[in-house]
């Protein structure tokens, strides 16, 4: 494990300390968990954007969704909604 110094505004520091006291958990643990969650969210967003960009780039090409598979999927969705 590595240490990382993160300067916080007075307000952020106060809120972190308050949450630490409320939850009876060390502030460093809360900060570490928050950073890990933020990094996961960023990675998920980047993956979503990459998939969306790929889908947009291949739309209408041979790499696009198989038309017969798409038709079956649409039929299934419509049947599910009824």
Concatenating the DSSP letter of every residue in the chain gives ---------HHHHHHHHHHHHHHTS-HHHHHHHHHHHHHHHHHHHHHHHHHHHHHHHHTTSTTSPPHHHHHHHHHHHHHHH-
pTM over 0.75: no
Token pair listed for 63: 């790499």
Residues 6+ apart with CB under 8 A from 30: 16, 19, 20, 23
Q: What is the mean pLDDT of each run of 10 residues along the chain (82 residues)?
A: 94 98 98 98 97 91 82 90 70
Residue 53 is predicted with a pLDDT of 95
């Amino acid at each position: 494990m590595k240490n990382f110094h993160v300067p916080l505004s007075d307000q952020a520091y106060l809120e972190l300390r308050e949450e630490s006291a409320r939850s009876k958990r060390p502030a460093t643990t809360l900060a570490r968990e928050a950073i890990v969650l933020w990094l996961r969210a960023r990675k998920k967003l980047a993956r979503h954007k990459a998939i969306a960009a790929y889908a947009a780039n291949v739309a209408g090409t041979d790499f696009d969704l198989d038309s017969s598979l798409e038709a079956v999927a649409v039929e299934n969705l419509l049947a599910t909604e009824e």
